[in-house]
A and B are shown apart, each in its own frame.
Chain A
C-alpha cells in the first residue's frame, strides 16, 4: 500500500500486556513513612470486618508503571498529535497553563468543607468565572454545580419544571428537534417529561409551521441546540422564542455548540431562557479520554429562585460565602460545588483570551469549518447547503454507491494521520460525516486534511477495498464489537 500522506508514518510501537500479567509478589512501587503513633491490632479493632486479602491487585515497581502507562498512551490519538475533527465535541487545544494553575497547592488541596474564611480564593474563582459566563451568554444568573453537559441539561430542566410548578402547572412535555443530541431526550425523561419530536425543515432548521402546530400549554420547553448539530444557526430564532413565550413555554438552549457564538452573539439576547455550557468544549478544559467535564447552567432572572443550592453570595463585609437558605431551590444535583478544578481551567482560558481573543477564536473556528466545507464540496455530498457556522456536515451518499460508508472513510482517515470526524450523527443525515475543526487548526493542517479526504474519495473510486479494510497502520485492526457485546468480558481474570 502506498504511503498516504506526509503527515503520518509508521513507527515502532511497544507491546504491553495487562498490568496483572506483569505482577509478582514482593515488587512494590510504594513506601510509607514510619508510623508516629502506636501500631494497632487490626483484628481487635475491626473484628469480623477485617479484610484479609486484596485478591488479584497488582504488585509492580515504579519504572514498570511508568512504562506501562507510557506505552499504552502511545496507542492513543490526541489533540496534541493533530487535528481531532469530531463534530459537536469541540476538540480544541487544551492550554497547559490551565493545568499548571489547577495544581497550585491551595487550589488543588482546598477541602470543600474548610471554613469560608480560608476559602476566599476558591469562592473568588467561582464568582469571577460566573460573572464571565453570564456576560458571555447574555444571561442573568448561573450555577456551576452540574458536573457535565447532560447533568446541566437535567439541572436546567429541573429549574424549568420548578418554574412551571410555581405557576401552578408543571406541564407535560419537552419539544426536541430530530437533530438533537441523545442526551436531550434522555434528560427530559429523567425529569419526568414526555418527549415530543420536532422535525427539521428542508434547510436543516426548526420547522416553524410544525413548531406552531405542536406548541401548546402542555409544552414546558423546547430544547434547542444553536447552532444546531448541522452547524447551522437557527435564523428564525426570534420567531421560535416568540412562539414558545406566547404560550408560556421556555426556550432551553443546549450550549454544546457555543464555540460558534462566543463574543459574536449572546443567547440571552436572542430569547433563550435557560442554557448549559460545556466547559470541556468551549472553554478548553481537557476531555481526558471522556471526562471530567463541567456543565454550568445560565438562566434568566425568573428562574433564579430555583437554582441548585448553595449559591455564592457576598457578605456585608465584602467577603464571599455560600448561601444555603433557598426555599424554592430544586435542591442539590451534586455533592459539594461542582467540578471546581474545571472552573479554574476555564477561567484561565478566558483570561488568556480576553474579549478580543475570544472573538478571534470564534471567528477562526467558523472560518476553519467553512474552509473545509469549500475544500470538500463536490467531493462529498452536502445534504444541506445552508451556511455553516463552526462545523459542517457531509454525507456518504456519493461513496456509498461503491459500498463505502461514513465509518469506512473515517477509519481510512486514521491511516492519513487524523482522528475521524463524528460518524452517523446527526440522525437526520443518513451516513453523516460531521466535521468540526475548531480554531486550533492551522491552514497547513487543514490543507492536509482536505487532501486526505480527497485522496480517500479517489480511493473509493479506484480501490474501495483499501478503504473498506482500513485502518491499515494501527496497532490493532477493526475490532469485533459484536462479540464484545454478546459475550461481554469486562474484567481480567487469572488464567
Chain B
C-alpha cells in the first residue's frame, strides 16, 4: 500500500521489539467473535491513474461544461488561481487546529486577518472563524440571541433561504425555541406590518436575510427599529457575500450570520462552505466557534493565540455555547485570500459587475416574462414568472447545455410558475440572450396555443 512507510522487515522488527509474535496479538483485546475474518466488500485497491479516471468520468456526468443561472445560496464566482496555489501548501493543508500557538502562527495570523476583514465588510466589531456554513451559522446565531436575551421565541422571515429555515427548525426543535414566520409583501420584502404583529415580549430575535432569497434587499433599518423597539435582537443572514462590495452592510443588526462561499470557495455540489458569525464586542462571550486574539510572547513580540476558549465544548462540556469543534478553517483561508486579492477596490468593482449583468438580464427577461418585485433594489438574483412551468423551459435549455433558474414551486407554491435566476460576473451576455430567447419562445408558444383554443371556442 503506497501510503504506508514500512517494509515487512520493519514490521517484523517492531513486533519483536514489542515482544509479540504476530500482528494478531495486538488485536487480542477485541473479543474473537467480533473480529472480521474476511475482506471488506469494497472496491479493490486502485492505481492513482484509475482513481483519476473514475472521478473524471463522474465529472462528465455532472454538468461539466454547462452554463448555469443558479444561485440560491451557492454562487459561481471566479476563483483567482493563487487561492489553490496557497491553500495547497502542506503547512496550511495538513496542519491541525492551532492549539500549539508557537508552531501555528501562520494559521493564527491568517485567521486574525480574516476576522478583521469580515468585521470591515459587515460593519460588526468581532467575527469568528468559522461555522460549518450559512445555514448552521444562522441557527447558531439565533441560539446566541436566545442566550443573550433570555427570551425563547424566534420570528423568521419567509424569504429567508428555505433550507436555512429548515435547518433552524431542526436545531430549535429540542431547545424549546418556538418559531413563527413572517411573510413578504408585493415588493418581495418582509411584510413590516405582519412583523410588528408577530413580535411578542418573548421574541428573542428576528431572523432575516438580505439580500433575501429572492435577491432583493431588505429595509434593514426599518426592521431593526421594529425589533429593537420590542426588545428583540435582529439577526441578519447574508448568503451572497459579494453583495457586501456594493450593498451597505446591515450595521443595525445585532448578529450577522454569513455564508462566505462566494469569496473564492468552489460550488462543490454544496460544500464545504464557510459560515461566519459577526457581532458586537459586548456579545462575544456568547458567540460560538473559534476566535483568534492578538497577544505577546515572553519577549514582548507580537503573536496570536486561540482565545476565549471557556465558551467552548472542550472546556465547558454540556454548558458550552455550542458543540462545534471542527470548523471550516481551510475554507476560511480561501475566503481570506479572495478578500485579500480583490481588496478595497476590487470587491466593489466585482460587485458592480454582478449588479450590471443582473440589471441587464432582468431588463431582457422582463420583455417576455414577468420579473417579480421589479421595483425593489436587488443584487444579483431575480424572480421570473412565466406562463409555462419553468421545469419544462429548463428541460429545453438543458439540451443547449444551459441550466436555467431554480423553479420556486417547491418552496413558494404561491408564486406559481416562478424561477429564481442569478447572474454573476461569470455570466456572459450571450448566455443571457440565449436564455431569454427560450423564455420568449415559451411565451409565444403558450400564447399561440391559447389563441388556438380561443379560436376553436369561437
By the criterion CB–CB under 8 Å, are B105 and A72 in contact?
yes
Q: Mark B104-117, 1 if CB is under 8 A from A, else 0.
A: 11110111110111
Known: A291-B130, A335-B135, A491-B115. A481 touches B295 (CB 8 A): yes
B197 interface residue (CB < 8 Å to A): no
- What is the chain A residue whose CB lies nearest that of B219? A49
Segment at the B interface, from A99-107, A207-215, A395-403, A459-467: A99-107
By the criterion CB–CB under 8 Å, are A103 and B84 in contact?
yes
By the criterion CB–CB under 8 Å, are B161 and A335 in contact?
yes
- Tell me the complex Cα distance, A354–B2, Å: 12
Q: Which residues of A contact B51 (CB under 8 A)?
A: 97, 101, 348, 351-352
- What is the chain B residue whose CB lies nearest that of A74? B91
By the criterion CB–CB under 8 Å, are A80 and B94 in contact?
yes
By the criterion CB–CB under 8 Å, are A291 and B328 in contact?
yes
B446 interface residue (CB < 8 Å to A): no
- Tell me the complex Cα distance, A111–B115, Å: 28
Smallest CB separation, A241 vs chain B (Å): 11
Q: Mark A476-491, 1 if CB is under 8 A from B, else 0.
A: 1111110111001111
- Tell me the complex Cα distance, A484–B307, Å: 6
By the criterion CB–CB under 8 Å, are A354 and B43 in contact?
yes
Interface centre among A69, A93, A294 (most CB of B within 10 A): A69
Known: A19-B113, A49-B247, A101-B52. A148 touches B66 (CB 8 A): no
- What is the chain A residue whose CB lies nearest that of B265? A341
By the criterion CB–CB under 8 Å, are B45 and A348 in contact?
no
By the criterion CB–CB under 8 Å, are B135 and A109 in contact?
no
B: contact size bracket? 35 or more
By the criterion CB–CB under 8 Å, are A183 and B59 in contact?
no
Known: A191-B174, A366-B27. A336 touches B271 (CB 8 A): yes
Q: Mark A355-384, 1 if CB is under 8 A from B, else 0.
A: 111111101101110110111000000000
Task: From B26, B41, B136, B347, give the contact of A367 (CB < 8 A).
Answer: B26
Known: A57-B339, A65-B82, A185-B318. A153 touches B94 (CB 8 A): no
A312 interface residue (CB < 8 Å to B): no
Known: A57-B117, A77-B103. A269 touches B269 (CB 8 A): no
B206 interface residue (CB < 8 Å to A): no
By the criterion CB–CB under 8 Å, are A45 and B359 in contact?
yes
- Tell me the complex Cα distance, A298–B339, Å: 38
Known: A110-B63, A115-B403, A149-B326. A79 touches B94 (CB 8 A): yes
By the criterion CB–CB under 8 Å, are A122 and B269 in contact?
yes
By the criterion CB–CB under 8 Å, are A331 and B173 in contact?
yes
B340 interface residue (CB < 8 Å to A): yes
Smallest CB separation, B227 vs chain A (Å): 18
Q: Which residues of A contact B414 (CB under 8 A)?
A: none
By the criterion CB–CB under 8 Å, are A70 and B89 in contact?
yes
Q: Which residues of B contact A292 (CB under 8 A)?
A: 132, 271-272, 326-331
Task: From B58, B248, B328, B353, give the contact of A32 (CB < 8 A).
Answer: B353
Segment at the A interface, from B118-126, B381-389, B450-458: B118-126
Segment at the A interface, from B15-23, B150-158, B228-236, B436-444: B15-23
By the criterion CB–CB under 8 Å, are B297 and A479 in contact?
yes
Known: A183-B323, A479-B102. A57 touches B343 (CB 8 A): yes
By the criterion CB–CB under 8 Å, are A57 and B347 in contact?
yes
Known: A54-B245, A72-B109, A334-B133. A291 touches B330 (CB 8 A): yes
Known: A186-B317, A233-B29. A111 touches B70 (CB 8 A): yes
Known: A74-B106, A476-B301. A269 touches B34 (CB 8 A): yes
B392 interface residue (CB < 8 Å to A): no
Known: A111-B70, A121-B59, A147-B272. A420 touches B100 (CB 8 A): yes
Q: Which residues of A contact B15 (CB under 8 A)?
A: 367
- What is the chain B residue whose CB lies nearest that of A295? B326
By the criterion CB–CB under 8 Å, are B337 and A65 in contact?
yes
- Tell me the complex Cα distance, A120–B113, Å: 39
Smallest CB separation, A428 vs chain B (Å): 14
- What is the chain A residue whose CB lies nearest that of B39? A355
Known: A51-B248, A74-B106. A119 touches B14 (CB 8 A): no
A39 interface residue (CB < 8 Å to B): yes
By the criterion CB–CB under 8 Å, are B58 and A287 in contact?
no
- What is the chain A residue whose CB lies nearest that of B60? A106
Q: Which residues of B contact A375 (CB under 8 A)?
A: 17
- Tell me the complex Cα distance, A353–B54, Å: 15
Smallest CB separation, B153 vs chain A (Å): 16
- Tell me the complex Cα distance, A107–B329, Å: 21
A350 interface residue (CB < 8 Å to B): yes
By the criterion CB–CB under 8 Å, are B344 and A117 in contact?
no
By the criterion CB–CB under 8 Å, are B315 and A29 in contact?
no
- Tell me the complex Cα distance, A419–B132, Å: 26
Q: Mark A253-297, 1 if CB is under 8 A from B, else 0.
A: 000000000111110011000000010100000111111111100
A189 interface residue (CB < 8 Å to B): yes
By the criterion CB–CB under 8 Å, are B112 and A18 in contact?
yes
Query: Can you list the 7 inter-chain pairs with the closest CB atoms, starting with the nearest?
Result: A288-B330, A336-B270, A354-B45, A80-B90, A106-B64, A121-B62, A106-B59
18 contacts between A and B (CB under 8 A): A69-B92, A75-B103, A107-B268, A111-B403, A118-B62, A122-B62, A190-B323, A233-B29, A262-B40, A334-B167, A352-B51, A359-B40, A478-B102, A480-B296, A481-B307, A484-B305, A488-B291, A488-B293
In addition to A65-B341, A106-B62, A117-B398, 6 A-B residue pairs with Cβ atoms within 8 Å of each other are: A54-B348, A128-B43, A286-B94, A331-B169, A336-B163, A489-B295
